[in-house]
Amino acid sequence: MIPVIFLIGLIVILILVVVFLLAVISMLIGHNRTLARDVDNVRDKFENVQTEFLSNISHELRTPINTITGMSEIILQNDLNDEMEFQVNSIQITGHDLLEKINDLIDYTQIRDGKIRITEHSYNISSTINDVISQFADTAYDKGLELIVDCDPNIPSELIGDEPKIRRVMQNIIDNALKFTSVGCATVSVGFRPEDYGGNLNIRVKDTGIGMKKKDIGQIFNGFYQVVSGTSRSAGGMGLGLSVSYAIVKAMGGFLSVDSEEGRGTTISITIPQRVYSSVPAISVANTKELYACCYLNLEGNRTAEVRDDFLKTAENLARGLGVRYSHCMSFEELCFRIEKSPVTTVFIGYPEYQEHTQFFKDTAQKIVVCVILPRNTEIEQTGMLIPVYKPFYSLAVANIFNTKTYTQEFTKLRRKKVSFYAPTVRAMIVDDNIMNLRVAQGLLKKYRIKSTIVMSGDECLTKLTPNSYDIVFMDHMMPEMDGVECVHRIRRRPEEYYSRLPIVALTANAIDNAREMFLSEGFNDFVSKPIDNLCLEDALLRMIPVSMRIDPDEATQNENENSVSVLETETETETETETTSETVPEAETTPSLSIPGIDMDTALGFFDGDEDMFREMASMYLDVAAEKIARLREFFTAEDWAGYRIDVHALKSNSNNIGALELGERSRELEMLCKDFAEASDDAKDEITSRIRLLHPALLSDCEVLFENMRKGGIA
C-alpha cells in the first residue's frame, strides 16, 4: 500500500503545480490584456494623428490649389487664343480634380471616425443638377461619350436637405461612370416621389463601361477599392468615391444600390429622403397647348443601341413631364410629312441629321424653330430660327426654348466670360493673412467692377473698418493671433447699427462639413469655400449686394459706348507714346530682369504671370508683414510660447513661398513642424524639441535679415 504521507505529498505537489499553472495563465492573460490595451492605445493614437494630419494637410494643400484655380480663372477672363485657352483650362480642371481627391480623403476619415454630420437647408435642385452636369460636359466630350440627362421637370423646385453632400454624391458616381466607360454613354436620371414627409429624391447613373463581377460589388463599400488595379489600370482615382457616397447617403437616411455585370456596364441607384420647401415644379412651360415638338434622330445610324434607347426614352419622358405634344420621327420622310400635315412648332434634330439635309433645315428654320443638338466646340451657320443646342442638354434647355428665351449652353464659356451684374459703387474689404489668396479674391471681384481693399490681419480689419466705410467684407477663417470668427464677434459687438447689418462672408479652406451652420451661428452672413469657385462667389454677391447697387452689364456697355470718343482719343495718344518709346527699348530678355538672392525669380514671377510690377507690390507688402511676424517670433521665443510661435512661423512659411523665397519657407516649415511635435510630445521629449527649436531659431532670424536686405537692395521698399 502507498503510504498516506506519500499521497498527501503528491496531492500537495499537484496543488502547487495547478496553482503555479493558474498563476502563469493569469499572468499571461494579464499580459495579453495589457498588450491589447497598448495595441488599442497605439491604434487610437495613430488614428487620431492620422485624422489630424489629414485635416492639417488639407488646409495646407487647399491654399495653393486656391492660387492655381483662382489665377487660372482670372487669366481665362481675357481674350486668349485657342491653344492658350486650352492650356489654362487644363490647369484649372487639374486643380479642381486635385481638390476632389483631397475631399475624398477628408470625407473618408470623417466617415471612418463616425464624425460625419448632415446639415439641412433649402436649395434649388435644378441649379444643382445643372452645375454638376456642366462640370462633366468636357470630360464626356473628350472621351467621345454621350452624357444623357433624363431629369423629371416636375421635381419640386426647392427641397430641404444637405445640398453640398448631395452634389458631392452626384459628382462621385458620375465621375466613376465616365472613368470606367470608353464607348457608349453615361445616363443620369433624376426624379422625385412624393411621400408624407416630403418625398424621395431618386438619382440613377447608368453607364456602358467595363462593369464588375458580382462577387466584387460588395467590396466597393470597403474603401480604397479599385475595380481595376495594378499596372493595367486605365482610369485614375483612389477608389474612395463610392465608399464615401454610400456612407453619406446612409447618413442622410437613404440607400445606395449597385447593379453591374462584367463587360455590360454598371447602374448605381440612390434614394434620399428630402423635405419640400416649394412644391412649384423645377421646370415648366407656359404655353403647352400651343406647342407641338418633333424629334428626328436616325436610330439606324452609327449610335450604339444603348445611346439610341436612352435618347429616345429621355425625349419621351421630357415631353410627358412638360405636357407638350410630341412625336418621334423614325425617318426623314416621316419628319417632312409631320411638318407639312401637323401644326409642328419645334423640331429637334441631331448633328448628323442636320449635315445630311442642311438646306432643308435652313429653309424650315424660316418658318418654325429648328434646334440642332451639337457636340461641344462645333459651330453651324445660324439663320432664321435655327438654334444650336450643345450637349449635354436636358429639360432646362428645352423649356427655355419653348418659353422663347435665348439659350446657348456653352457652360464653360458662360461661367468664365460673363457676369450677371456690375457693382461699381460697392466697396469691399478682403481680410486674409495670405498674399496670394488676397490677390486671387481681388482679381475675381474686379470683373464685377467692385472696388476692394485688402488687409492682412484681424487687427488691421478692425482699425480700417469704420461706419459706412465698406458695403461687404470677405473674412478669412484661419488667421494668426485673431482668427476670422473672433474678428466677426468684435465687429458685431460694436454699438453702431452699421456693424450689426454689415454683410460679412467667410472665406475658408476648411469648409468640409457643417460649415454653413457654424459660420451663420458665429455672426457671418454667408460663406465661400476656397478654392473660390466663380459661380459660388457670384451667388454670394447676389445674396449680399442689394439690387439698387447692381447694374446690368449690357446697359453699362451701352453707356460706355456713348462716351467712348474721348476715351478712344486718349487711348490712341497713349498707344502712340508707347510705340515711340518702344523704339528705344531693347527686346525683352528670356530671363527675369530682376534678380534677388534668396528668391527664385522664375517661381515668383510664375505666380504673377510674369508681371514684375505686381511682384514688387506683393514683395513690398511681404516685407512689412514679415517684419511684424519676426518681431512677434522673437517675443514668443523668449517666452517659450511655442503655440504662438507656430502660428506666426506658419504664416511666414506661406508668405515666403508665395514670393519665391523657397529656402526661407523650408526653414520656417521645419520650425513649424517642431512646434507641432512639441504640443503632442511627452514631458520627457519636450526638452529635446525645445533644444532643437533654440538651435534653428537664430538661423531663421539670420536668413530673414539677409533676405530682407537683399530685397531692399533689389529695389523692394
Q: What is the pLDDT of residues 364-391, one digit of tens each?
A: 999 999 999 888 778 888 788 888 888 8
Residue of 392, 391, 167, 174 whose CA lies nearest to 266: 174
Query: Is residue 299 over pLDDT 80?
Result: no
DSSP code of residue 222: S
Query: Is residue 524 over pLDDT 90?
Result: yes
Which of the residue ranges 24-28, 213-217, 502-506, 666-670 has the most confident prediction, judged by mean pLDDT?
Answer: 502-506
Query: Is residue 169 over pLDDT 50?
Result: yes
313 grid coordinates: 426614352
Cα–Cα separations (whole angstroms), residue 627 to 325, 507, 601, 618: 72, 25, 21, 14
d(CA 312, CA 297): 9
How much is the pLDDT for 532?
A: 73
Which of the residue ranges 7-16, 237-246, 425-434, 585-594 has the most confident prediction, judged by mean pLDDT?
Answer: 425-434
Query: Is residue 462 over pLDDT 90?
Result: yes
**Reduced to 3 states, what is the DSSP secondary structure of residue 201?**
strand
How much is the pLDDT for 410?
A: 37
In this prediction, residue 228 has a pLDDT band, given cuts at 50, 70 and 90, of: very low
d(CA 398, CA 329): 18
DSSP code of residue 551: B
d(CA 470, CA 108): 40
Give the position of cell 449597385.
Answer: 258
Residue of 105, 358, 130 whose CA lies nearest to 224: 105
Give the position of cell 457671418.
Answer: 524
How much is the pLDDT for 612?
A: 78
* 3-state SS record for 371-430: EEEECCCCCCCCCCCEEEEECCCCHHHHHHHHCCCCCCCCHHHHHHHCCCCECCCCEEEE
Q: What is the pLDDT of residues 403-443, one digit of tens each?
A: 764 333 333 333 344 678 899 999 999 998 776 677 778 88
**Reduced to 3 states, what is the DSSP secondary structure of residue 260?**
strand
Residue 210 gets the label, from left (phi > 0), alpha (psi -120 to 50) or beta, of alpha
Query: Which residue type, as a one-letter code, is found at position 417?
Result: K
386-390: strand order across its sheet: 325-329, 292-296, 346-350, 369-374, 386-390
Q: Is 269 exposed, middle or buried (0-12, 13-18, 19+ CB in 10 A)?
A: middle
Angle at which helices 564-582 and 553-562 cross, to 10°: 80
d(CA 547, CA 161): 28
Query: Is residue 393 over pLDDT 70?
Result: yes
Cβ-proximal residues to 654 (8 Å cutoff; 6+ apart), any chain? 63, 433, 434, 665
Mean pLDDT of the chain: 77
Cβ-proximal residues to 199 (8 Å cutoff; 6+ apart), any chain? 156, 192, 193, 273, 274, 276
Q: What is the pLDDT of residues 53-109, one digit of tens each?
A: 655 665 566 667 766 776 776 776 677 776 777 777 777 667 766 776 676 666 666
Cα–Cα separations (whole angstroms), residue 468 to 464, 496, 561: 11, 10, 32
Distance separating the N- and C-terminal Cα atoms of the chain: 112
Q: Are 187 and 140 in contact, with CB atoms under 8 Å apart? A: no
How much is the pLDDT for 481?
A: 73
d(CA 411, CA 407): 11
- Rg over alpha carbons for the chain, rounded to the nearest Å, is 32
- 0.85 cut: is pTM over it? no
Q: Is 249 exposed, middle or buried (0-12, 13-18, 19+ CB in 10 A)?
A: buried
496-524: average pLDDT: 79
Q: Is 188 exposed, middle or buried (0-12, 13-18, 19+ CB in 10 A)?
A: buried
Considering the chain, what percentage of its residues have pLDDT values greater than 90?
Answer: 18
Q: What is the dihedral of CA 621, 624, 629, 635, to 10 degrees?
A: -170
How much is the pLDDT for 224?
A: 46
In this prediction, residue 360 has a pLDDT band, given cuts at 50, 70 and 90, of: very high
Pairing of strands 451-455, 504-508: unpaired
Q: Are 716 and 617 in contact, with CB atoms under 8 Å apart? A: no
User: How far is residue 447 CA from its own chain's centroid?
Assistant: 20
How much is the pLDDT for 568?
A: 39
Residue of 450, 444, 443, 445 whose CA lies nearest to 423: 450
How much is the pLDDT for 582?
A: 32
Q: What is the pLDDT of residues 657-685, one digit of tens each?
A: 778 888 888 888 889 889 888 888 888 88
Biggest alpha carbon–alpha carbon distance for the chain: 135
**Reduced to 3 states, what is the DSSP secondary structure of residue 22?**
helix
Cα–Cα separations (whole angstroms), residue 265 to 187, 208, 231, 648: 11, 4, 22, 53
How much is the pLDDT for 514?
A: 53
Cβ-proximal residues to 408 (8 Å cutoff; 6+ apart), any chain? 388, 390, 414
How much is the pLDDT for 63?
A: 64
- Segment holding 650, helix H or strand E: helix 642-658
User: How far is residue 427 CA from its own chain's centroid?
Assistant: 27
Flag the least confident range among 90-94, 123-127, 615-619. 90-94
575-599: average pLDDT: 49
219-247: average pLDDT: 56
Query: Is residue 273 over pLDDT 80?
Result: yes
DSSP code of residue 290: G
Q: What is the pLDDT of residues 182-224, one digit of tens each?
A: 888 899 999 999 999 999 999 999 999 888 887 777 766 655 4
Cβ-proximal residues to 89 (8 Å cutoff; 6+ apart), any chain? 72, 76, 412
Cα four-point dihedral sign 672, 676, 681, 684: positive
d(CA 529, CA 425): 25
